[in-house]
């Protein structure tokens, strides 16, 4: 196993523990956060604010680099425009998050605990990715 693989594994492990500690892998907590006009739970706003506070400086530094710390080339998104694909994808993501109470990372973490709703979510997510891939191939 090389250092990049080990680093990715450790990063994913830390991320998954963070998701568990913050409650992001608990769909009831997430749905409580999204329930703005009911029993709103603002605690996940602090989690998201903390993620932005850590991520923003990291991305600003990364934009100035050509290689990552471990020597691999940087692969940052190049597209900066708001288009129909981005808006529809964001809408689909938000609807899925609101219906299931999961987004991809927490869904995978919760499926590791064999949470039935998370297993259905991950299966639907993977199915959606496969359908998207097929549609992309047809349009090209």
pLDDT tens digits, the chain, 140 residues: what are they?
888 899 999 999 998 988 888 888 888 888 888 888 888 888 888 888 998 999 999 989 998 999 988 888 988 888 888 999 889 989 988 888 888 888 888 899 889 889 999 999 999 999 999 998 999 899 88
Using a 10 angstrom Cβ sphere, with 0-12 exposed, 13-18 middle and 19 or more buried, the burial of residue 100 is buried
Gap between the Cα atoms of 39 and 55, Å rounded: 29
**Can you give the pTM of this predicted structure?**
0.74
Q: Tabulate helix, strand, coil % of the chain (nearest 5).
A: 70, 0, 30
Residue 82: Cβ within 10 Å count: 9
């Amino acid at each position: 196993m090389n250092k990049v693989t080990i680093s990715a594994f450790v990063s994913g492990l830390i991320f998954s523990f963070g998701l568990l500690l913050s409650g992001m892998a608990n769909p009831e907590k997430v749905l409580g956060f999204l329930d703005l006009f009911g029993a709103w739970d603002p605690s996940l706003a602090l989690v998201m604010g903390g993620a932005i506070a850590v991520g923003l400086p990291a991305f600003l530094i990364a934009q100035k680099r050509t290689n990552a710390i471990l020597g691999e080339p940087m692969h940052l998104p190049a597209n900066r425009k708001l288009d129909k694909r981005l808006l529809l994808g964001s809408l689909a993501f938000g609807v899925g998050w609101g219906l299931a109470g999961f987004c991809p990372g927490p869904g995978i973490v919760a499926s590791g605990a064999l949470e039935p709703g998370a297993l259905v979510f991950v299966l639907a997510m993977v199915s959606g990715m496969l359908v998207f891939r097929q549609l992309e191939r047809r349009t090209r």
